[in-house]
Amino acid sequence: MVDFVMVSMLVVPLFLGILQVGLFLYVRNTVTAAASEGAHYAAVLNREPGDGESRTRELIDGVVRNELIDSVEGEATEVDGQPGVLVVVKAHMPPLGLWGPGIGFTVEGHAVKETGE
């Protein structure tokens, strides 16, 4: 009985820590993929950075809690000297599951804008 309690005191926090890291990676990777897809969506001919912003919000909605997303911004930029689109998502991840104060992180998605030439 005592052995079980002592081992549990070591194993349970380790398991919860691994679970939290996995949850953070899931949220970060999902938001990164949405930002990239939003930038590619806005880079199509006759679309604006605002279109990529709204596409990113659509992709994130329902997959990641809306309370975790602080802002989504789309803007025109240059990518290696070419006209492009940048979508920036600012979010945070609570240290205890999905509750509590969080640590902030920022992800970006870039795409080269299509031209009619």
- Outline where the chain has alpha helix (H): 2-42, 49-60
pLDDT band at 98 (very low <50, low <70, confident <90, very high): low
Among 56, 50, 100, smallest CA distance to 75 is for 50
How far apart are alpha carbons 11 and 55 in whole angstroms? Answer: 42
Give the number of C-alpha atoms closer than 13 A to the C-alpha of residue 106, restricted to the C-beta side: 7
Mean pLDDT of 92-116: 83
pTM of the model: 0.83
pLDDT tens, residue by residue, 15-57: 988 888 888 899 999 999 999 999 999 999 889 999 999 999 9
pLDDT tens, residue by residue, 64-83: 888 889 999 999 998 888 89
